[in-house]
Amino acid sequence: AMDTRLLEALYWKGVPVYDMGSNMMTVDAGWGSPAFHKMGREKVFLINALLPFGYELLVCDTDMVWLKNPLPYIARFPEADILTSSDQLIPTVTDESLEIWDQVSGAFNIGIFHWRPTDPAKKLAKEWKNLLLSDEKIWDQNGFNELVRKVYGPAVKGGNGLVYTFDRTLKLGILPASIFCSGHTYFVQAQYHQLRLQPYAVHTTFQYGGTEGKRHRLREGMIFYDLPEYYDTPGGFLSFKQHIPKSLLLDGEHTVKTHFSLVNYQMKQIRTALAIATLLNRTLVMPPLWCRLDRLWYGHPGVLDGTLSRQPFLCPLDHVFEVNVMLSERPEEEFGPKIDFREYSFFDNPLLPKQVKESWLEVQLCEEGSKNCNVSSQPKTGVFSVPKHSSEEMV
C-alpha cells in the first residue's frame, strides 16, 4: 500500500498487504503532476523488489476492474516474459489471440501487465528503474515503451503471437484490447460485444472527468461497488424518458453540426429535468446519451478509421458533461444548490433494493381541462397526470 489509509483499510478487511513506505497522499494525483510521477516510480520500485524472489507479478492500476479471472488466459502463454495491455483502438484480431504485434500502433499501457521472473524481465525492470531515476520528468509508461521498443521483432517462432523486444531476448505479448479493454474499446466501441467475446478487464482510460469521471463510467457499466445508501437516497429519484427525433439521430451525414444538434437537443431536456429535480429535492437519474461523433483529446475525423465505433453511439456522460465539475463542492450562493445525479443504468443495477424498484410514480403530461387532468385528484402510486406548461408552484 502506498498510503497509511489504504494499508489500514486492507489490513482490517483481511487482505494481505504491506507498507511500501511511499508516504503518498490520498488526494487525486492529477496526470503529469509530481505526485503522479512519484506514484508511477513506486510501481517500478515494487516490480524490482519482488521479481528477485521468483514471483510472477500481475500488476494493475486502481482505476481498472477485473471482470474475470485472467490467470487461465495468462497461462496460455508460458513463454512470455511480459504480457502488457495497450492503447490500441483498431482490433488486429477478432478472437482471444494476442494482438498482432507488427500491426499495433497504440502505446503499451502499463495499467495492466504481467511479469515472469525471468532474466530478461529482471534486466528490463532494472534498466527501467535506472531510466526513471535519471530524469524525474519521464513518465513511467513512456520509459517502458522507449526501452521495450529499442528492439521490436522478429516474432518468436511458435510463440503464439509473442515478439522479441528490448534486448532481443525478452519475449513480449500484447493483450487483446477487445477483452483487456481500455475506456474506449469497452465504453465507446464495445468491441467485446460486437465480437461476441467475454472481457477480462476494463481500464478507465480515454475519459475526461478525472477520478469522478472514471467512477461514473464504471457505474454506467454496473461494475462499480457502491454502499447501500447510494441506491436509496433521501428524497427519492427522478428519471425521464428522452424524446429524440429520428431526424436528429439518424438523418444526414455525421458532421460537427449534426452532432451538436443532437447533443444540444438532449442537453436542453436534461436542463429541464435538473430544474425539476431541484424543485422536488430528488436525485436525477440521467438518461442514455447519444452522440454522432467521438470525443478525443487530439484532432480526428469524427470517428477513427478502422475502429468498431458505430454512428450514432451510446456515449459516456463525460463525453458531454464535465462530471468532475458537477460533483465538486461549489458555493451555493454563486452556483445554486447542488443537484445530485445517478448514471443512466441505475435502475438496471442488481444492487438496487427491491423496495426502491417497486416504489414509483409515472408522471404523464396532459392537456389542461381534459379528462383526469386534475392534479388535486391524483393517486400516490401508478400513473400521475400533470397539465402541460404547469407552474413551479403546481409542480
Of 28 and 292, more confident = 292
d(CA 289, CA 266): 7
Query: What pLDDT, on the 0 to 100 scale, is given for residue 157?
Result: 94
Q: What is the pLDDT of residue 22?
A: 73
Cα 144 to chain centroid, rounded: 23
Q: Model's pTM, two decimal places?
A: 0.90
The confidence band for 391, taking pLDDT boundaries of 50, 70 and 90, is low
- Asked if 388 and 367 touch (Cβ cutoff 8 Å), the reply is yes
Tell me, what's the pLDDT at 34?
65
Of the pLDDT bands very low, low, confident and very high (cuts 50, 70, 90), residue 352 is very high
Higher pLDDT, 138 or 344: 344
* HSE toward the beta carbon, residue 162, CA cutoff 13 A: 22
Percent of the chain topping pLDDT 70: 93
Nearest-angstrom CA–CA distance, 255 and 273: 27
Q: Give the bridge partners for 291, in sequence order.
A: 313
Q: Give the pLDDT score at 392.
A: 65
Cα–Cα distance for residue pair 368/377, rounded to 1 Å: 14
> Rounded mean pLDDT of the chain?
92
Q: What is the pLDDT of residue 376?
A: 60
Question: What's residue 181's pLDDT?
Answer: 98
What pLDDT is recorded for position 35?
67
Report pLDDT digits (tens) over 207-221: 999 999 999 999 999
Cα(165)–Cα(171) distance, integer angstroms: 6
Rounded to an integer, the average pLDDT of 270-298 is 95
* Percent of the chain clearing pLDDT 90 (strictly above): 77
How high is the pLDDT of residue 12? 95
Length of the chain counted residue by residue? 395
Q: How confident is the model at residue 86 (pLDDT cuts 50, 70, 90)?
A: very high
Q: 3-class DSSP state for residue 387? A: strand
CA gap 25, 22 in Å, rounded: 9
What is residue 37's predicted lDDT score, i.e. its pLDDT? Answer: 64
d(CA 99, CA 176): 5
Residue 67: band (very low, low, confident or very high) from pLDDT cuts 50, 70, 90:
very high
pLDDT tens profile 95-148: 999 999 999 999 999 999 999 999 999 999 999 999 999 988 888 999 999 999
In the 8-state DSSP scheme, what is residue 317?
Answer: G
> For 5-45, what is each residue's pLDDT tens digit?
889 999 999 999 988 887 766 666 665 666 666 777 889 99
Q: Where are the domains of the chain?
A: 31-194, 233-341
**Residue 340: alpha-carbon gap to chain centroid:** 20
Q: What is the DSSP letter of 38?
A: H
Q: What is the pLDDT, as a whole number, of residue 21?
A: 80
**Rounded distance, CA 110 to CA 59, Å?**
8
